[in-house]
Amino acid sequence: MKRTTARLADGREIIYFDRRDDATHRLDDPRDLPPVSTTSQLRHDPVLDEWVAMAGHRQTRTFLPPADLCPLCASTPDRPTEVPSDHYDVVAFENRFPSLSMAAATEATGTELVPIRPGVGRCEVLVFSSDHHASFATLAPEQARLVVEAWADRSTELSALPGVEQVFCFENRGQEIGVTLSHPHGQIYAYPYVTPRTARMLESARKHRERTGRNLFADVLAEEQAAGVRVVAQTRHWTAFVPAAARWPVEVHLYPHRQLAAIADLDDPERDEFVHLYLDVLKRFDALYDAPLPYIAAWHQAPVSTGRDLAYLHLQLFSVKRAADKLKYLAGSESGMGAFITDVLPEDVAARLRSSEVPE
């Protein structure tokens, strides 16, 4: 892999990841761009003991542009985009409308009950392919493998930034999820705190270890492998399964067979096998209703400075689509109380995914 860095017109960093060592790119950005907002704030919710990011400047971000105006496509002589080069394999760059910024500043301090601090952190866009009409599921294995390298690279670099406590790689796919750009891409957030979901997972893992002396996630994996009924696919180094208490209509977790903290800890055979398993699962998702399935893909990595002995790297993949023509809405019980009610049995979902005809 070749890695090339440059700066966009407003000072944001851009990183090209190429399969060929002789790849070259245009590194200057001819656009006249306004400065990136540094006004993000973090406000602490004392009732839930959670930080909430305030980023009002994001209201003006690009929303569902036509294909010929896509800002993630490669640049052409008459239309410069977020990617100055006229070609690329995989590219990452700082978000033009970030929820968090390493330059964030605010004069507000809030109160003792509701403190306010600058929204320090970093938000990046990771573009999986220059092909506007591709999806992750349609990527060639070598292209998907390059994305894994980019995830590992960005996770490691962002974890080293001052003040960053957690790095989250994810993909939102489909307008039903809220995607505003249809070009195949994901995002990476570097948070200045441990997110609520991760904190709760690690607390559960801590209690499990105190009670049993074992790792919670390893026990979950072992139980799913032994039961078999919810396993969708398996390789030497990975297992993909529908969790026994799945919250979403379609949900699959991909676990490596050994406890790791971060994507960068995966060795080459594990990365190779992940690519083939993940592409297989994504194709099963799309075959479920004979149409592209909207989904969120969320990498769970260990925080930077806490809980690394408890964490267990895994990918959570889930969809809000509960039928070919129906969505799962988070209504009163889910949104109001955080109490999920699922409409389908995990065992049935796993059976349907196993039986899905995966196109070659």
Round to whole Å and give the CA distance between 91 and 18.
9
* Residue for token pair 């704030």: 41
Q: 203: which residues sit within 8 A by CB, 6+ positions away? A: none
Integer CA distances (angstroms), 328 to 146, 264, 343, in order:
33, 34, 8
Q: 90: which residues sit within 8 A by CB, 6+ positions away? A: 16, 17, 18, 126, 127, 128, 129, 143, 146, 147, 150
Round to whole Å and give the CA distance between 66 and 340.
36
* Residue for token pair 């209504």: 331
Q: Which candidate in 185, 208, 253, 314 is catalytic?
A: 185
Sign of the dihedral through C-alpha 324, 325, 329, 333: negative
Round to whole Å and give the CA distance between 136 and 248.
21
In the annotation, is 183 catalytic? no
> What residues act catalytically?
185
